[in-house]
Amino acid sequence: MIKLVIWDLDETFWEGTLSEEGIKNASKNIELVKKLTKIGVVNSISSKNDFNQAKEKLEELGIWDYFVFPHIGWYSKGNAVKSIIEKMALRANNVTFIDDNHLNLREVKALSPKITAIHPDQIPEYFSWVLDKDMVSKDSDRLNKYKILEKKSVTRNEFETDEAFLKSCNIKVFIRQTSIDDSERVHELVQRTNQLNFTKRRDPLNDILSLISSNEHECHSIYVSDDYGEYGLVGFVCLDLMKNSLVHFCFSCRTINLGVEQYIYNYIKRPILTIIGDTVSSLDNVSLPNWIDIGTYTGLNQHVTSGSSKILFKGGCDLLQMTFYLKNSSNIVEETNSIIDGVPVHSEHTNILLSKIDAQEYLPFLTKKATKSEMFTSDFDTIIYSALMDYTQDIYKEQSDSYGIPIGAYGIKPRWSNLNDAQSYSIESFFSKCDNYGQITPEAFCENLYEIISKLPIKTKLYVINGVELESSLIAKDDELKRHKLMNEALDRFCSINAERVKLIDVRLFVNSDDDLNDSIRHYKRYVYRNIAECISQEIGLETSKTPDLILQFKSKFTKLMHKISKKVKKQHVL
């Protein structure tokens, strides 16, 4: 596919030499440049000429503004063309170079082997074939978008580092639910992007339309803008809800080096992604493009509108899959488990929340940030709290009358790799002087909850998420289910007695079979989190869709049932 045409000027774009006898007969190529621009092919210049003289002539012909990144001067053609391609973040095989000098054609090919290099005599036949074969972009606004890149390229030279420049650009991403109106542009991205196309799936338009309308998938259109202008629809993300995996994750080459793909990957909580082929960007779980902000959110759940309430989500990383569906509220604070110095850190156990123990005293490799919470220092209207660590973690005590450190689970000591000597010594010292007393008792758990609500402002409503009660093949320890039932019973009583201050988010309503679980009885499929998010959004007063969560549950279970039936039918057909 042709995205860029780079023109020589003398004896190529026009007849004659500008600096000598003058030029003539450029009308056919002027019309060709305009036609190419209308169908989304951008044009540039590599010419050995005086810049100001060439610009003046092209302005006189009314064609100067149709070119981007012109290299007009006494440069090497090979280096000039290569520079243009790099600045425009394109691949050489999407570029055509036109020059009347065969030595220039050979030089350009030597430095950019995959470029198409042609003589002016080939222009009529070549472009007739290209246009007939539909080998061009259909984005008629591409010229303006590359004008934005051109402006940014000039300004970039004023900054010492790329990051400093990017922070000055005021880059914003906008995520919205993909609509049928987006389908043609999305189809073009899927078919024709390579450098930032991570799955390399080339679905036809009908399949794209099916994904957009599917209840099993969530599709997002990504828009980007900055102080230089708007880039338009430059990304497409399609998520398989059942597998929590990305079907499509692709972005226009115009976003290369902006960090948009990493920002979006972080924003959607890093679902499973199998990268196919080479990409110019490698995604990771560490990079944070802090020069990008989210614009007005109209994404996955367009029906959720932002509220004025200040909300804290406190718990494990599973909560991230719920807050994602409520991300349009700028008042959400997330405190979930993280990796600090190579060690997974949970700070939501009630003993840690109430600072009844000094984790740093026993595990000094943990920073204060690891156990710091805003729960009691900020004025939250609503707190969504997952109690699963109280259900799970063991209590290690140096003395029987102390509160103890919550760590590990069901008698199994945690094993961490890649620790330095100081960390390893700290952990060995901790386990050598502390005994395992099992999990917190239900009585102590409820006492801690009483203390938590007593420390919160009267206006703050606490929503507590409980544990699943399910006979499951994914139960790792025999006493897991027994423990969940015991703690749920205690939490049910506590919420009933303190109904004015505390509300139960009961996952037993949402998880009813192994099909709803991910890898354990504490991790659920993504659609389950979406349904819980619907419930939470209704509870805390955010405007939601009119689809009750029971209907959402029915839809998800119906979909899974149809999958099973389909598999059985296919199997019988094979037999």
Q: pLDDT tens, 493-541?
A: 999 999 888 999 999 999 988 888 887 888 888 788 888 888 888 777 6
The least confident of 124-128, 231-235, 305-309, 485-489 is: 305-309
- What is the pLDDT, as a whole number, of residue 543? 46
Q: Could you give the angle at the alpha carbon of 376 between the alpha carbons of 375 and 377, nearest 5°?
A: 100
Superfamily of domain 4-140: HAD superfamily/HAD-like (3.40.50.1000)
Residue-wise pLDDT for 235-272, tens only, equals 999 999 989 999 999 998 888 888 999 999 998 889 99
Task: State how far the Cα of 91 lies from the Cα of 79, in Å rounded to an integer.
Answer: 15
Average pLDDT, integer, range 114-139: 78
Which tokens is 444 given? 């102590």
- Indicate the DSSP class of residue 2: B
- What is the pLDDT, as a whole number, of residue 410? 80
Average pLDDT, integer, range 369-392: 85
In terms of C-beta density within 10 A (0-12 exposed, 13-18 middle, 19 or more buried), how is residue 41 classed? Answer: buried
Task: State how far the Cα of 90 lies from the Cα of 466, in Å rounded to an integer.
Answer: 51
Q: CATH 3.40.50.1110: which residues of the chain? A: 311-544
Q: Could you give the angle at the alpha carbon of 489 between the alpha carbons of 485 and 492, nearest 5°?
A: 135
Superfamily of domain 311-544: SGNH hydrolase (3.40.50.1110)
The torsion angle over the Cα atoms of residues 188, 189, 195 and 199, rounded to 10 degrees, is -110
Q: CATH 3.40.50.1000: which residues of the chain? A: 4-140
Task: State how far the Cα of 83 lies from the Cα of 394, in Å rounded to an integer.
Answer: 60
Q: CATH 3.40.630: which residues of the chain? A: 159-294
SS3 169: coil
Task: State how far the Cα of 270 lies from the Cα of 27, in Å rounded to an integer.
Answer: 52
Percent of the residues in the chain that have a pLDDT greater than 90, as a whole number: 38
Task: State how far the Cα of 63 lies from the Cα of 84, in Å rounded to an integer.
Answer: 19
Average pLDDT, integer, range 150-157: 76
- What is the pLDDT, as a whole number, of residue 361? 62
Backbone angles phi, psi at 456, to 5 degrees: -90, 150
Does residue 556 contact residue 527 with C-beta atoms inside 8 Å?
A: yes
pTM of the model: 0.49
Does residue 555 contact residue 549 with C-beta atoms inside 8 Å?
A: no
Does residue 184 contact residue 212 with C-beta atoms inside 8 Å?
A: no
Q: Give the pairing of strands 394-397 and 435-436.
A: antiparallel
Percent of the residues in the chain that have a pLDDT greater than 70, as a whole number: 82
Look at the chain and count its residues. Answer: 575
Topology given in CATH for the domain delimited by 159-294: Aminopeptidase (3.40.630)
Average pLDDT, integer, range 303-325: 68
Residue-wise pLDDT for 175-204, tens only, equals 888 988 889 999 989 988 888 999 999 999
CB atoms within 10 A of CB 386: 25
Q: Which residue has the tokens 């804290």?
A: 312
Q: How confident is the model at residue 544 (pLDDT cuts 50, 70, 90)?
A: very low
Does residue 363 contact residue 293 with C-beta atoms inside 8 Å?
A: no
Most confident option among 114-118, 329-333, 360-364 = 114-118
Q: How confident is the model at residue 206 (pLDDT cuts 50, 70, 90)?
A: very high
Q: In this model, does residue 321 exceed pLDDT 80? A: no
SS3 21: coil
Most confident option among 147-161, 304-318, 332-346, 474-488 = 474-488
* CA 272 vs CA 48, 242, 268, 284: distances in Å: 50, 11, 11, 12
- What is the pLDDT, as a whole number, of residue 555? 44
Q: Could you give the angle at the alpha carbon of 27 between the alpha carbons of 25 and 32, nearest 5°?
A: 130
Q: What is the mean pLDDT of the chain?
A: 82
Residue-wise pLDDT for 8-18, tens only, equals 999 999 999 88
Task: State how far the Cα of 163 lies from the Cα of 290, in Å rounded to an integer.
Answer: 9
